[in-house]
Structure formats: C-alpha cells, structure tokens
Amino acid sequence: MSPQDAQEPTSTPPAPPTPPAPPVSLAALLGRRDLGLRLLAGPEDTAIHWVHTSEMADPYPYLLGGELLMTAGVQLTDPARYVERVVEAGAAALGFGVTPVYDTVPAELVSACARQGLPLLEVPPRTPFTAVARAVWRLMAEARHRELRRVTEAQQSLATAAARPAPVPAVLGALASRLGGRAVLYAADGTAYAAAGREVGAEAEAALRDLAAVVGRRPGGPASASGDGGGMRLAAYALGGGEGLALGVAAERRESADHTIAGVAVVLLSLLTAPHRGADVSARDAALVRLLLGAPPAEAASTLGPGPWTVVHARGGDGTPFAAVSLAAALGTPLVDAGGTPEAGGVRLLVPAGSPVTAQQGWTLGVSSPVDARDLAAADAQAARALRRAEAARTPLARHRPAGFGALMDREEAAAYARTLLEPLTEPLTETLRTWLSLHGSWDRTAVAMDIHRNTVRQRIARCATLLDMDLDDADVRMELWLALRSR
C-alpha cells in the first residue's frame, strides 16, 4: 500500500442510477492469493457490492451500505466507536492496511469487529487499496457476464417454449426449470390456471397463492411482490391484459437474475393470455396511419382511447432486449418507445391515466400529470423533468409537481446558479436587495421596512449594482435577481 492510499480521504464515486453488477462474495476475494488478504474477524460468507476508501474519523455519512471499507487508520482513535459507526452505516466488511501508520492491525479493532460480527481483512503492505478495488470490479464483471449468459439462455428457452403448440404450460415448464422450482399461473379468483415444476409442499403453495392475490388485482396495487413461505423463496408478478392473472414462482434460493428471467416469462405469458391483442394492434396501426397521412397528433391519439394519458420517462433496466417490454407490461400499456428520451438508454411510455404508475425494480421513473391528447407534448416535458429530479434525489419515482414557473427549474441547478450570481453580496446588501425588489423598487417603503434611512437604501442598492455589474433598472435583471434570491 502506498502513502497516497493512506492519505486519500474519500475516493468512491456516487452510486450509479442503474443497478450495479451482482455482488461479490468475500470468500471469492479472499481466494485471490495475489492480494494476500487475511480474515481476522467475522464471517467470510458476506456479499460485497462495492469498495470505498476513507480515512475520515467517522465514515458513516459517506457510506451507502454494502461496501468493503478500506482504511489505514490515519484518524483511528476509538476502534470500538469506529466499528459501531461502520456497522450502523451498513458496510459489508472492513479492510485495514498495515503500514505506513500501523505495523499490525490494532487488537482493539479486531476485538470490536469480532463483537459486532463485522468481517475484518488485513491488507499487507505490498497490496495497494486500488489492487483490492480492481479485483472486486473484475469479480463483479465475471459475475455479471455469468448472469447475462444465464439470462440470454433463459430468454432463448422461454421463446422456444412460447412457440410450442401448448405455449402457456411450456413457458411455465421452462421457467420452473430455469429457476429450479415451481411456476404457477393463477386466475383472478386465485385458482391455479396452470402449473409446472417440482412440488414445493402445501405450506409453500398456500403462501404463494396468497402472495399472488396481492398483485395487480386493484388500482394502485403492486405489479410484483416477494416473500418467504414453507422454506421457499417466493415471488409473484401481475400479468398485463387486464384479466387479473398472476404468475407465482417458488424456489429454494433467489439469485439476482431470477427477477429478469421471470420478467421475460411475464411478458410472454401476458401476450399469450391477452384476449384482444388484435384489436389493440389495429388501434395502434390506425393511429399511426392517421398521423402519417397528416392528421393532427391529438386526433391520431384519440384513436387509441378517450384519454386522459400519463407520459412516463424511464431509465435503467437490466440491459436485455426485453427490459422495456417488461416495464411496459408491468405498467399495463403496450405503448412504449425504447429509445424515447434524448439520453442513452431512455424509455418513454404512454399510460392510460386510469392505470396507476408505481415504482419498478431496477428503473428510475419520471411521471407526468394526466393530460388530454392535445397536451401530450407538454406532458412529455413534464416527465423528462420529473425523471431528472428522481435521478438527482436517487429515488425510484418522481411525479410532476404543478407549481407554476418555479417548477420548470431544477431546484439544485437554480440554487447553485443563485449562489454564484449573488456571491459578491454581503448579507446586509442581500437583505436590502431582497426587500427593495419585493417593494417594487420603492426607496421610502424599503427604508421604513428595514428601519434605515432612504439614502442608506440608495447607497446599498447602488453598491449591489456595482458588485453584480448589472443594471437594476432593467425589469429582466430585476426578475432574474428575484428568482435567484428565492432559489438561494
């Protein structure tokens, strides 16, 4: 480990908006003999999601959970308290680099990690922290490659099953085989429409049926749900088509790719069980023909239904060709554009306003207000702004907030611009400018409001104009400054 590693306060970038690669087992990292890592405390069957290096005395505010936290103990003064804060932050493990600060891992730190059940790794002097991080990323890339290969093989298997004479039982059988468990298609009343795979026991069957009953049965209900029962890992998914069908899956374990594989099966089963697919396609074709022949967009959109409509912008997914289609099925709409937003990887959807839009695993969504067909362009802009706000706040879903012109500005960008614009002003000048603008530039009313002489007001406003290098008699300038003062 180099001295630069020990002196770096923080180095991990913020979490990406899309889901990270599958986690890496701590045991797999310990198996890398070239690193020379040694487990001093805690279990080795721990999942690592990323690596973070910090020499802060309290790293808690800078951790997201699931990290292998690397430190050389530059500011380690109270090992017990330090470990408590690391555990509270949800870190997966702690890596301690010996030298240049410590020759050995402090015994108090080993004891504290043992008490808290936090895995503690000794990083030898010859192994820089960057080598550990690089090893984790490589293991993640290998796991991701295995996961994508498994998903691709499952997609091919499910697609082949969907082309067989009895496609629904065939798709269920292929899904159960890929997940190593049981797959059941439930009717709206809870009865098993079809099933395939090995038996899982009466308790697990009952728990799976109960779980399937909560998805897609009522407005605002979840599109998917998961749980445990009868010693099995359970999951249920609502099928599109409005028939109240649900897919239930039970297996002994749940892997990161299982949700994606089940999503492919959901799309195929939704298509296979939809009663009026031909009518839906005909309506979309009619709308497209009208649009190409010169009809106004509102008239063409009316062919798809009476409205109102909700526009959804989405980014994320699992990177497979079925991701956008699976999202559309979960939101109950066939109207999806997989390349709909200017940013790479964006998806746009047009959802009937009666269909609730809820957060979807692996996706970040921006949702517009319900609008008539003539206002779809405005709703598209609303959804784009909502998506940007969701990504900035790291929340899975954000909805348009109708709050006048102020809602058209990104709050964080506006605040940053306001700080830069108003930076030359001291607080007396800022407050005088705010009061003067709020009173429409009245010297006397400002003087009364601030309990100062009117000449003082004039001097301060003149000083503001000089520092800002702006003409305060210009209405546009006054408006910009007023918005900046409100945004700051």
Tens-place pLDDT, residues 450-482? 889 999 999 999 999 999 898 988 888 888 888
Sheet holding 93-97, edge to edge: 38-41, 120-123, 93-97, 67-71, 50-53
Q: What is the pLDDT of residue 131?
A: 95
User: What is the CATH code of the structural domain delimited by 3-140?
Assistant: 3.40.1390.20
Question: Quick check: 198 pLDDT over 60?
Answer: yes
Q: What is the pLDDT of residue 291?
A: 72
Question: Quick check: 51 pLDDT over 80?
Answer: yes
Question: What pTM was computed for the model?
Answer: 0.45
Q: Give the pLDDT mean for 135-157.
A: 88
> In terms of pLDDT, which residue wins out, 328 or 113?
113
CATH 1.10.10.2840 fits 411-487, yes or no: yes
pLDDT tens-place string over residues 340-386: 544 555 888 888 877 888 888 888 999 998 888 778 888 888 888 88
pLDDT tens-place string over residues 221-233: 688 888 888 889 9
Cα distance from N-terminal residue to C-terminal residue, the chain: 44
Domains of the chain, by residue range, sit at 3-140, 164-273, 306-408, 411-487
Q: Give the pLDDT mean for 303-322.
A: 75
Q: Give the pLDDT mean for 108-131.
A: 96
CATH 3.30.450.30 fits 164-273, yes or no: yes
Q: What is the pLDDT of residue 148?
A: 85
Q: What is the pLDDT of residue 5?
A: 40
Express as a percent the part of the chain with pLDDT over 70. 86
Q: What is the pLDDT of residue 224?
A: 85
Q: Give the pLDDT mean for 224-252.
A: 85
Q: What is the pLDDT of residue 276?
A: 45
